[in-house]
Structure 1
């Protein structure tokens, strides 16, 4: 029996440019305007084992690390896992695999893992999703599976799990990139196409442990004048976040997981990202906005360090006002 088959062809993703792109900022974005997205394969594996969250076929003596990992796993590290094969184990009949070492994070769960589930679901009947035991700590993982009609099996990595039939899609796109067709289908599973958006939402990171705005009080004062609601998404369950975002026309926030929630906005929204200056690497929200058919705006801000994941930025309030007024022109 053939173990895999192609289900999505390779293609070139073409992104819409930022609506307020300045010529001098072109080097930050131009390498993302066109991106090669590899084909997607569906795997049907029989009588396999999950050993410390890696897929192993005893019959073929093969690890399927391309399905369970983003990065190369050293061969000796894989071999050292095999001692679990000779200990008592758990069993499950049919299951789906969608995760890798980054999937526990909010952005990667919604934009990397769940798209893999969507393409498997469309070709197979619903099954249990195998996840590492540590994923139980993230409420949005179980909530999202419930909303999509799936059950989770949280695997104890200290014991081998024998699976009679495992279905898995290869990664849909390199992380930070997307398959426009699939990410659109995922959005449609969460929100109604009849939703009429009207809200303007500002996502605060005041409660976050890193990546903050030093003058956020001034930012909030300004955006409130333009009708933006201030929200702390970590205070809400996933269902509440989806409810808010399905009514949202304009989303504004600092680079961070909260911007992932543009996934739950109806098409033709506006996304405004506050970015760390000179960062040409972290373009995931620009690319996501384009593939979800949202207008993308940005503002570069002075940061205390180059590392966008740990930076604290200071926003130029007058420049912020200029971009907001470009998004929401006053009609006289």
Structure 2
């Protein structure tokens, strides 16, 4: 009872603070980097090509979400990989977002959509001022969503370290929040081990820091996309494999990733799915039962991966070469891992099920799965 009362009181106090901060124009507007600072381009932009089947799937993704910007059936542009050399910025340690003058910079939050949902717009705890006038600072941090989300870490955040490693030669301090998960610190420190001039400084999340010289790496990915250019994914894969001492001589296996222990997006006819998959020598795994090295090794050893949509599919990045089947609920279809598979040149097949219920739980058509299995491994 007391805990519930405290939660309600906190919500009311937060709401009152937000109203007060809005009245004094605490919330800044946003701006773009065009014409600001020096831009160093590492690679040019280019367009991806899709098959008719891929276009149809991506169009279904956009229709289920009603977001035009991510309708990649209309075309997917891989952005330039760039480093922006900026002067006099304010760094928000809770998000990694920066402000120049009185405006937040869109490119530091990936997109307008993500920036306007970012805590830098509303978090009154980021009050303690600091000033770094000497030296050069940078970050790969990407808002509060990547605090312990492997998808946002390995697809949105860590790839930015590739740009730093390829462009920066002088001493630079990389700012990262000190509460980062051990796997984040481990992978970040390892992929940058050959760049000793990039020093990592772990800081708290309660600061807005004035910085005289700031290098901002662009995001490699786009909103709702998991596509990574091969040069980036190869650099990242090799770094993570080596950091966890992955064994590369194990026999290949077929795996099904179950979400039965998750709180949502579970497969309602999973017993029937598993019964079918076991005929084709698929092994059932629960990612939450494995430590992170075991997850990486399991995916590296997989020649076929089947799973409902979920962040665990980020580990596709660490499969050596795999066929992928992803189950989607009909009313929320996401193309992130199709685009990740595209960049890795993996054979990818979506299977669309029923609409999800209030917990996003759904059923997939067994005949579609059986058809895919027969086409790869023959019929029983």
TM-score (norm 1): 0.79
Question: After superposition, what is the alpha-carbon deviation per residue over 1:87-121, rounded to whole angstroms, capped at 9, x for unaligned?
Answer: 46689955431232333322121111111111211
2:323 maps to 270
- 1:144 corresponds in structure 2 to 187
The more displaced of 250-259 and 320-329 is 320-329
Give the 3 Å change call, closer, same or farther, for CA 266–160 of structure 1 in structure 2. same
After superposition, residues 17-36 of structure 1 pair within 5 angstroms as: 27-28=59-60, 32-33=72-73, 34-36=75-77
Q: 1:91 to 1:229 in 2, by over 3 A?
A: farther
Q: Residue 40 of structure 2 aligns with which residue? A: 5
| Residue 247 (structure 1) aligned to one of 283, 288, 301 | 301
What are the equivalent positions in structure 2 for 1:168-247 lying under 5 Å apart?
A: 168-177=216-225, 178-181=227-230, 182-191=232-241, 195=248, 198-247=252-301
**Alpha-carbon contact 2:138-2:214 (below 8 Å) kept:** yes
Name which of 322, 333, 336 aligns with 1:284: 336
1:55 equivalent to 2:71? Answer: no
The number of equivalent residue pairs is: 316
Shift of 1:295: 0.2
Q: Secondary structure at the match of 2:326?
A: strand
Aligned equivalent of 1:121, options 152, 165, 182: 165
CA distance in 2, matches of 1:313, 1:83: 40
More strand by share: 1
Structure 2 segments unaligned to the other structure (5+ residues): 1-35, 63-70, 194-198
Q: Indicate which of 354, 369, 376 corresponds to 1:320.
A: 369
3-state SS of the aligned residue for 2:186? helix
Q: C-alpha displacement at 1:207, in angstroms? A: 1.4
Moved more, 162-171 or 110-119: 162-171
Question: What is the DSSP-based 3-state SS (H/G/I as helix, E as strand, rest coil) of the residue aligned with 1:14?
Answer: coil
In 2, are the aligned partners of 1:90 and 1:159 still within 8 Å (CA)? Answer: no
CA distance in 1, matches of 2:268, 2:182: 29
Per the alignment, do residues 69 and 287 of structure 1 end up closer, same or farther by CA in structure 2, a change over 3 Å counting?
A: closer
Q: CA deviation at 1:129?
A: 3.7
**Who is 1:45 aligned against?**
86
Counterpart residue number, 2:151: 107
Deviations 1:269-309 (A, max 9, x none): 20111111255x5111111111111001122211334x8xx
Q: CA deviation at 1:145?
A: 1.8
Most deviating of 35-44 and 188-197: 188-197
Worse-matched range after superposition: 64-73 or 103-112: 64-73
**Is residue 323–residue 347 contact of structure 2 (8 Å, CA) maintained in 1?**
yes
Alpha-carbon separation, structure 2, partners of 1:329 and 1:201: 18
CA deviation after TM superposition for structure 1 residue 189, in Å: 2.4
**1:252/1:273 contact within 8 Å kept:** yes
Are 2:105 and 1:64 equivalent residues in the alignment? yes
TM-fit CA distance, 1:167: 2.7
SS in structure 2 opposite 1:172?
coil
Contact 2:126 2:205 in 1 (8 A): no
Distance 2:158 2:58 in 1: 32
